[in-house]
Amino acid sequence: MVGQDLEVQLASGEARRYVNLDFAASTPAMQPVVDTVLSLLPWYASVHRGTGYASQVTTRAYEAARVAVAAFVGARSTDEVIFVRNTTEAINLLARCITLRPEQVVLSTGLEHHSNMLPWRRLAKVVYLDPPPDSDALLMAVKRALDDRSRPVGIVAVTGASNVTGEVLPISEIAWLAHEHGALVAVDAAQLAPHRPIDMVAMGIDCVAISGHKMYAPFGAGALIAPSAVLHDAEPMLAGGGAVTYVTLDDVQWAPAPDRLEAGSPNVIGAVALAAAATALQEIGFEHIAAHERRLLAYLDGRLDDLPHVTRLRLWNGAGVDRLGLSTFVLDGTHHALAAAVLSAEHAVGVRHGCFCAHPYITHLLGVSIADAHTIRERLRRGEHRDIPGAVRASFGIGTTVEHIDRLVDGLTALCEHGPRLQYVEDADTGDYRPVDDRRMLPRFALLPQLELAGISAGCGQF
């Protein structure tokens, strides 16, 4: 993994080996991905339009990337791979391409990331299922909602795994129920794709969205994979060059998908990086990836449970629940933003804190009352980010070790037993904490202006 041996500074100025436990937000780059990108770069030239040798290489590499991504998700020959920036863009694009009948609704859950909530609201009324106590209850709720003829479901839009608590959802079973009722199934696989195999055919998934930066390929590309019948007649989200077959001064003939939905010069490097990551993950083997993560997760959960002031947030308990490599928790008496700041400034451990772009779900998990939620909303509207409820999330993947988990737990133990070693101030604009005496210097990158230390804070939007 690139950056595996990174040394960073503590607020005191001392150097420490960095522990990255924020994979669920963005993973580091995988070395084979970077090697593939570097090997392509000398050949990089215009894509699709050039007749030169290098243009031919670039075009072939871009199209080969589609084939690799299709294979990665087990797509049908009738599916299209559309390269986009990320899962958010993929879901927005899909929601725009789908046509529902006026009476049809979208069925979804209260667990979703905002990126799998908000785009669907633009398409139709969305019916959300409450976070269920177990996966059987989820399936029963899905069935009940599908059976309700007063609001026929056109599409079931569901995450493959929660980015807040890591539970893997029973996608195959949901898809089976949806298809029995004539509904399509769209899976937000931003979290699932780097950790578990996806097989659109075997699992009955119609449409799937993935992000390169969450699967060890942070080069700005993601993909939507969906039946060409769904995408075929859609009005393009972006209008422009490359998406057309013919243009007159008062008319346009759109090209078939995928070109129709990829106007403008595509991100060839990002697409190739995504494809390289997809291939590398398959070569490592998901059985190894999942086994490694399950071992570490059991260790992390056990160590967190031994800390008296730490409470893990869980949706489903019990044996047989498959969870990705992440644990989200709250600390008695310590605000999540302060805990994350202490882990970074005093222990060189990087985690995420806040609400993880899943306000309805985190509100449910934290038991925030409707009245409190209303107050929070009003405070955020006024730009007050202090003391907003939330949690800390530690997430990991390939390359994470027991030592990394120990460093996190040692940091939390010190914090719970003695409080922060340094003095911190809260930034009223962002709700983040920073040490009063912060000696950290940020690295200098050639051709970039010197980075400001203020940039190290998480910035607005944590909630």
Ligand X SMILES: Cc1ncc(COP(=O)(O)O)c(C=O)c1O
Distance of CA 403 to the CA centre of its chain: 25
Whichever of 167 and 346 has its CB closer to ligand X, that residue is 167
| Among 183-191, 196-204, 374-382, 431-439, the segment contacting ligand X (CB under 6 A) | 183-191
| Among 2-10, 174-182, 193-201, 210-218, the segment contacting ligand X (CB under 6 A) | 210-218
Whichever of 195 and 213 has its CB closer to ligand X, that residue is 213
Closest approach of ligand X to the CB of residue 86, in Å: 3
| Among 68-76, 208-216, 322-330, 415-423, the segment contacting ligand X (CB under 6 A) | 208-216
Whichever of 217 and 338 has its CB closer to ligand X, that residue is 217
Cα distance between residue 378 and residue 386, in whole Å? 12
Closest approach of ligand X to the CB of residue 191, in Å: 5
- Specify burial of residue 345 (Cβ count, 10 A radius: 0-12, 13-18, 19+): buried
Catalytic residue among 97, 207, 357, 416: 357
Closest approach of ligand X to the CB of residue 391, in Å: 15
Among 188, 346, 427, 432, indicate the residue that binds ligand X (CB under 6 A): 188
Q: Which two tokens stand for residue 87?
A: 């899962």
| Among 93-101, 188-196, 245-253, 385-393, the segment contacting ligand X (CB under 6 A) | 188-196
Among 20, 58, 87, 135, indicate the residue that binds ligand X (CB under 6 A): 87
Cα distance between residue 157 and residue 412, in whole Å? 37
> Across 315-427, where does the E strand assignment appear?
326-331, 349-350, 352-354, 391-395, 424-426
> Which whole-number Å values give the CA distances from 20 to 104, 111, 191, 347, 415, in the listed order?
44, 25, 17, 11, 19
Closest approach of ligand X to the CB of residue 120, in Å: 13
- Per CB under 6 A, which of residues 224..263 are in contact with ligand X? none
Cα distance between residue 26 and residue 46, in whole Å? 29
Query: What is the sign of the dihedral through the CA atoms of 79, 82, 83 and 84?
Result: negative
Among 191, 328, 430, 457, indicate the residue that binds ligand X (CB under 6 A): 191
Among 113, 336, 352, 404, indicate the residue that binds ligand X (CB under 6 A): 113
Helices 268-284, 53-72: inter-axial angle, 10-degree rounding? 40
Among 10, 107, 142, 190, indicate the residue that binds ligand X (CB under 6 A): 190
Residue (of 24, 20, 16) closest to 3 by Cα position:
20
| Among 211-219, 266-274, 308-316, 426-434, the segment contacting ligand X (CB under 6 A) | 211-219
Whichever of 86 and 344 has its CB closer to ligand X, that residue is 86
Among 116, 327, 457, 462, indicate the residue that binds ligand X (CB under 6 A): 116
Other beta carbons less than 10 A from residue 319's beta carbon: 4
Whichever of 157 and 341 has its CB closer to ligand X, that residue is 157
Whichever of 143 and 364 has its CB closer to ligand X, that residue is 364
Query: Dmax over Cα atoms in the chain, in whole Å?
Result: 72
Assess whether 460 carries a catalytic annotation: no
DSSP 194-229: TTS---HHHHT-SEEEEEGGGTT--SS-EEEEEEHH
Whichever of 88 and 267 has its CB closer to ligand X, that residue is 88
Tell me the residue type at 439. Answer: R
The bridge status of strand 433-435 relative to strand 184-188 is unpaired
- Per CB under 6 A, which of residues 352..381 are in contact with ligand X? 357
Closest approach of ligand X to the CB of residue 159, in Å: 5
- By CB under 6 A, tell whether 211 contacts ligand X: yes
Among 108, 115, 135, 327, indicate the residue that binds ligand X (CB under 6 A): 115
- Specify burial of residue 14 (Cβ count, 10 A radius: 0-12, 13-18, 19+): exposed
Enclosing H/E stretch for 435: strand 433-435
Map residues 149-168 to x or -, x wherever contact with ligand X holds by CB under 6 A.
----------x---x-----
Whichever of 132 and 218 has its CB closer to ligand X, that residue is 218
Residue (of 323, 112, 90, 117) closest to 211 by Cα position:
90
Give the residues lining the site for ligand X (CB under 6 A).
86-88, 113, 115-116, 159, 163, 188, 190-191, 211, 213-214, 222, 357
Residues designated catalytic: 357
